[in-house]
Chain A
Amino acid sequence: MAIDSPLALDQPIQKRRRGRRDGHPLALAGRVAIAVVVSAIVIFPLYWMLVVAFSPRGELFTQELRYWPSTLTLENFETVFSRFPVADWFVNSVVIGLFVTAFTVVVNMLAGYAFARLKFPGNTAIFLLVLSTMMIPVQVIMVAQFKLVSGLGIAGTYWSVILPSAAAAFGIFLARQFIISIPNELIEAARIDGAGHVRIFVQIVLPLCKPLLAVLTLLTLMGTWNDFAWPLIALKDPDLFTLPIGLLYLKGQTTPDYNAIMALALISVIPIVILFLVFQRYFVQGFARSGIR
């Protein structure tokens, strides 16, 4: 899959440079060797997760040294599904992920448009204030936030995770940068035709923002799916756990079953890895754009 869809950033440069600067066959072999070694090191932990997840229980936790399972088995998956509400955890992760993403994308697009295109007193100051919230560590606010969701009567519910997660600045930054780059003429033309700001936003700006929407959706979905510290604090009922909290719950058992933990880790990782492999172009664009500033 990856071969067909490489991280497509720079095909033209490759063509221009070929044969001039990277021509020496020995140098090329050296570079391939480095790339292979680094990739092998990076991929090994993921390979090991697969191996442990599909190995007979306990096989890899003896003194015997082996790098692959003697037989492939699904028993670890049967164990996690029968002993823990894994299906519930999966559904919780999906539901929370979709709600947070939907809220965040709408809220961020609105704010991004306002910062990029509308003139109002305090525009720049508010934007900087919003941006500075990216520096706030969850550890600073977690105690107060927990008291807050308790006070609001939503402690332990989906909402206690969804609402705070939707107050995120990163997407606003992305949205503002993208919307600023939309040619002014398009918006001016609509204004001369008498369109109001809401109509311009819905009919002109949104249709031009499809790549932005893709990036925002993927990054928010990934961030929420992997989120740990706040859901750990907010969710107390094991039936409402998300997958990362469920993973920790498995490790907290009196005799943690690491084969089962790896099976659940694999379950939690697969959806996001598939999303990444299919849409890696958008992931990369999103990260790259956030870096270009």
Chain B
Amino acid sequence: MTSTTATGRGGVRTSPRPGAPRITSRLREAAVGYGFLAPNLILMAVFLFWPILWAIGLSFQETKGFGDPEWVGLDNYAKLVGDPVFWQSLWNTVVLTVFTVPIDMIGGLGLAVLLNSVLPGRGVFRTIIVLPMVISGVASGMIAVIIFYQSTGIINKTLLALGLPAVEWQSGSIPAMLSVIIASIWLRIGFNMIIYLAGLQGISPELYEAARIDGASRWQQFRSITVPLVGPSTFFLLIMNVIASFQAFDLIFVMTGGGPGYSTSVLGTYAYRNGFQIREQGYGAAIGVVLLVITLAFTYIQWRTSRTRDLVE
């Protein structure tokens, strides 16, 4: 990527007309550059950077009811440490991530390999598996509510008809979490498949031919050619999936609202609950800041480890 950038700009760097004053031309180019960026930078400054600073400020304040906000230092963060619901929400967020991300990625890669091979009706299968990606989290959540409905939902009725016990999707903590995990995977696996399909298409078929001539089995080819060569896709997907999972909100908010109790409460829904339902805005902001720090830390570690790996290889 870096090399492309250099070539991209290299041509512009040379003075356009021989004899034209270099410095003026450079100044003009810089002015045009900032001018082109201005609409975006203004929007981001007003609607992203300023609110972030504000949110960090809020996380050091207490705003209860209609009184003026009060500076309370680290009280909100101290409260977080002693709040069992916060720890449960963090734990649930980790559980959601640990279960959905590997299944999304391994399943996505498996489906990509399957639907990259010769298969009748391959295009139809691809379309179907990608389709949930365009469905909103809210609509998906509503469908999930009906399917997992405990008393008269289609899954439990089918289980009963098969002579199996019904599952407590709504009243049981673990089944409720499981239903959220299943719905999240349904919503995201198509995205993983598409990214891996694009990655697979970048692998030269000659590599597989050479491996076959050397007598490598299918599994060996998969392990030694496919997996390493879709590495950039894996890196990208790991970051995207983990972020999406840590910031999960729509689907869970609609499906369970964090319940029963707090058994499916995640950081995203708990921050919303504090910020807008209980109206402890300072506390909600503190949860948001924790979410941001975790996200940034993860991205940074991922980025560092992948750079190191690139250097080693």
Query: Is B291 touching A137 in the complex (CB atoms < 8 A)?
Result: yes
Residue B29 CB within 8 A of the other chain: yes
Q: Which residue of A lies closest to B251 (CB)?
A: A228
- Tell me the chain B residues, 219-248 only, with Cβ under 8 Å from chain A: 232-233, 236-237, 243, 246-247
Contact (Cβ within 8 A) B247 A42: no
Knowing A45-B147, A111-B40, A139-B247, say if A9 contacts B198 (CB, 8 Å): yes
Closest to B40 in A: A111
Judging by beta carbons under 8 Å apart, are B9 and A262 in contact?
no
| Docked-complex contact A136 and B44, CB < 8 angstroms | no
Answer yes or no: A117 CB below 8 A from chain B CBs: yes
Interface size on B, residues (CB 8 A): 117
Chain A stretch 254-278: residues in CB contact (< 8 A) with chain B: 258, 261-262, 265, 268-269, 272-273, 275-277
Say whether chain B's binding surface is mostly helix, strand, loop, or mixed: helix
| Assembly CA distance A135 to B246 (angstroms) | 11
Binds A, one of B75-83, B167-175, B266-274: B266-274
Q: Is the CB of A287 within 8 A of B194?
A: yes
Min CB gap A9→B, angstroms: 6
Chain A nearest Cβ from B233, distance in angstroms: 6
Q: Does A210 contact B (CB under 8 A)?
A: no
Task: Tell me the smallest distance from the CB of A83 to a CB of chain B, in Å.
Answer: 17
Find chain A residues with CB under 8 A from B26 CB: 119
Bound complex: CA A148 to CA B51 (Å)? 8
Q: Which of A42, A143, A148 has the most CB of B within 10 A?
A: A143
CA distance A248 to B138 in the complex (A): 8
A228 to B186, alpha carbons, bound, how many Å? 19
**1/0 contact string of B33-54 vs chain A (CB within 8 Å):** 1101101110110111011101
Q: B44 near A167 (CB under 8 angstroms)?
A: yes
Question: Residue of B at shortest CB range from A123?
Answer: B33
Interface centre among B33, B145, B212, B281 (most CB of A within 10 A): B33
- How far apart are the CA atoms of A60 and B142 in the complex, in Å? 15
Is A116 interfacial (CB 8 A cutoff)? yes
Contact with B along A5-26 (1 / 0, CB 8 A): 1111110011011100110000
B120 within 8 A of partner (CB): yes
**Stretch of A69-77, A84-92, A187-195 at the chain-chain interface:** A187-195
**CB-CB < 8 A to A28: which residues of B?**
118-119
**Other-chain contact of B40, A145, A172, A247 (Cβ < 8 Å):** A172
Which residues of chain A are near B116, meaning CB under 8 Å? 10, 13
A2–B124 touching, CB < 8 Å: yes
A142, CB-defined interface residue at 8 Å? yes
B134, A273: Cβ atoms closer than 8 Å: yes
**A217 contacts chain B at the CB level, 8 A cutoff:** no
CB-contacts of A101-130 with B (<8 A): 106-108, 110-111, 113-121, 123-124, 126, 130
- Alpha-carbon separation in the docked complex, A167 to B47 (Å): 7
| Contacts A32-B119, A114-B37 given; does A262 touch B129 at CB 8 Å | no
Chain B hits for A225, CB < 8 A? 136
A163 touches B47 (CB 8 A): yes
Measured between beta carbons, the chain B residues less than 8 angstroms from A106 are: 39
Q: Is the CB of B126 within 8 A of A45?
A: no
Say whether B295 contacts A39, CB under 8 Å.
no
Which residues 131-169 of A sit at the B interface, judged by CB distance below 8 A? 132-133, 135-148, 163-164, 166-167, 169
Contact A21 to B43, CB < 8 A, known contacts A148-B54, A262-B142: no
Q: Are B8 and A116 in contact (CB under 8 A)?
A: yes
* CB atoms of B125 and A291 under 8 A apart: no
Digitize B103-128: 1 where CB-to-A-CB distance is under 8 Å, 0 elsewhere. Answer: 00000000100111111111111111
Closest to A292 in B: B198
**Structural contact, B127 and A141, CB atoms closer than 8 A:** no
Report A178 CB to chain B, min CB distance, Å: 11
Q: Which of B43, B120, B247 has the most CB of A within 10 A?
A: B43
**Pairwise interchain contact B195-A287, C-beta atoms closer than 8 A:** yes
B139 pairs with A247, CB closer than 8 A: yes
**The one of A21, A132, A196, A228 that contacts B250, using a Cβ cutoff of 8 Å:** A228
Contact across chains for B147 and A48 when beta carbons are under 8 A apart: yes
Task: Name the CB-closest residue of A to B152.
Answer: A61
**Docked-complex contact A3 and B123, CB < 8 angstroms:** yes
In the complex, the answer to whether A142 meets B118 with C-beta atoms within 8 Å is no
Residue of A nearest to B237 (CB): A291
Instruction: Report yes or no: B121 in contact with A135, Cβ–Cβ below 8 A.
Output: no
Given contacts A247-B142, A283-B134, contact A35 B125 (CB under 8 A): yes
Residues from chain A with Cβ under 8 Å of B198 in the complex: 9, 284, 287-289, 291-292
The 10 A-B pairs at the shortest CB distance, nearest first, are namely: A6-B123, A288-B198, A226-B136, A120-B33, A144-B54, A140-B288, A118-B33, A114-B36, A120-B30, A291-B195
| 26 residue pairs A–B, Cβ–Cβ below 8 Å | A3-B121, A6-B124, A7-B130, A7-B197, A16-B205, A35-B114, A39-B124, A42-B128, A42-B132, A49-B139, A114-B37, A118-B29, A126-B37, A141-B51, A142-B271, A143-B285, A144-B51, A146-B276, A163-B46, A167-B43, A167-B46, A222-B134, A225-B136, A244-B138, A251-B254, A280-B127
- Using CB atoms and an 8 Å cutoff, list the residues of chain A in contact with chain B: 2-3, 5-10, 13-14, 16-18, 21-22, 28, 31-32, 34-36, 38-39, 42-43, 45-46, 48-49, 52, 60-63, 65, 67, 106-108, 110-111, 113-121, 123-124, 126, 130, 132-133, 135-148, 163-164, 166-167, 169, 172, 180-181, 184, 187-188, 191-192, 194, 196-198, 201, 222, 225-226, 228-229, 233, 244, 247-248, 251, 258, 261-262, 265, 268-269, 272-273, 275-277, 280, 283-284, 287-293
